[in-house]
Amino acid sequence: MKINHEWHRDFFKNSFYNPASPASVAKAPEEVRFLLKHLKLKKGAKLLDLCCGPGRHAVEFAKKGLSVTGYDFSGEYLQEAARRAKKKKTALRLIRGDMRRLKFKDEFDAAVNLFTSFGYFQKFPDDLKVLKGVARGLKPGGRFMLDTMNGEFVRKNFHPRSWAKMPDGSYRLDETIFKKDGVLVAWTFLKAGKKPAGRLFFVRLYSKKTITAAMKKAGLTPLKFWGGFSGKPLTDKTNRLIALAVKNKLH
């Protein structure tokens, strides 16, 4: 399997993949409650939702009185986020851009990056650019919450081939191979009467140890880890890795 390094450019389109399925949208309010508890923000605080996608978390944060900037590469998802905000009678500042090129400086009280929106680049320095951009954009003492796949879990529960049944009754074939530091995955959607649609993606696998090292390099100090939004501890049996970090005061 050979992957285009900029695979995200045509993966995140509603015609192929929609992160805001009804099930994911329904989970967002509870996830936001967890995030707010640990981000410790006051009403009016400025929050960056990095890789906000269709805005399912961003609108919930805005409903809680935060001043939310949603940042994403996908114009289609940003349009959906704007529609979602209008429907919920909230306002979002939405910016289209690449997460490796964040231009903010000492602006946000907190930042989030949710639902495995990190680790997409095959060169680690690109992931580091993202973390450095987050750190630069935070005010000193500002908090950052990252929610991604738990690399330890993925390594221990590796299936080279599996099938997932989709809510509409169609199927998705997942084929995974391990590359140095990450997984290369091919998703093929199979729907009766339609041509199969497939794409490849790459996600770098992070453990508590490797994300701690990366965050420290970027000027962020990890404070706490969880294995899910229920607040359960991070172990090699939890498929999520949620990390809370703070921007170093002198950074």
Ligand X SMILES: C[S@@+](CC[C@H](N)C(=O)[O-])C[C@H]1O[C@@H](n2cnc3c(N)ncnc32)[C@H](O)[C@@H]1O
Binding site for ligand X (CB under 6 A): 8, 12, 19-20, 51-53, 56-57, 72-74, 77, 98-99, 114-117, 120
Choose between 81 and 246: whose C-beta lies nearer to ligand X: 81
Kindly provide the b/e burial profile for residues 224-238, where b requires at least 16 CB atoms within 10 angstroms of the residue's own CB.
ebbbbbeeeebeeeb
The least distance separating ligand X from the CB of residue 249, rounded to whole angstroms, comes to 28
Residue nearest to ligand X (CB): 53
Dist. CA 198–CA 213, nearest whole Å: 34
Helices (H) and strands (E) in the chain, counts: 7, 11
Choose between 5 and 105: whose C-beta lies nearer to ligand X: 5
Query: Do the Cβ atoms of 131 and 113 come closer than 8 Å?
Result: no
The least distance separating ligand X from the CB of residue 244, rounded to whole angstroms, comes to 17
Choose between 9 and 40: whose C-beta lies nearer to ligand X: 9
87: which residues sit within 8 A by CB, 6+ positions away?
Answer: none
Query: In 9-50, where do the E strands start and end?
Result: 46-50
* Cross-strand pairs, 33: none
Choose between 115 and 187: whose C-beta lies nearer to ligand X: 115
Dist. CA 189–CA 196, nearest whole Å: 6
The least distance separating ligand X from the CB of residue 6, rounded to whole angstroms, comes to 8
Choose between 46 and 57: whose C-beta lies nearer to ligand X: 57
The least distance separating ligand X from the CB of residue 54, rounded to whole angstroms, comes to 6
The least distance separating ligand X from the CB of residue 230, rounded to whole angstroms, comes to 17
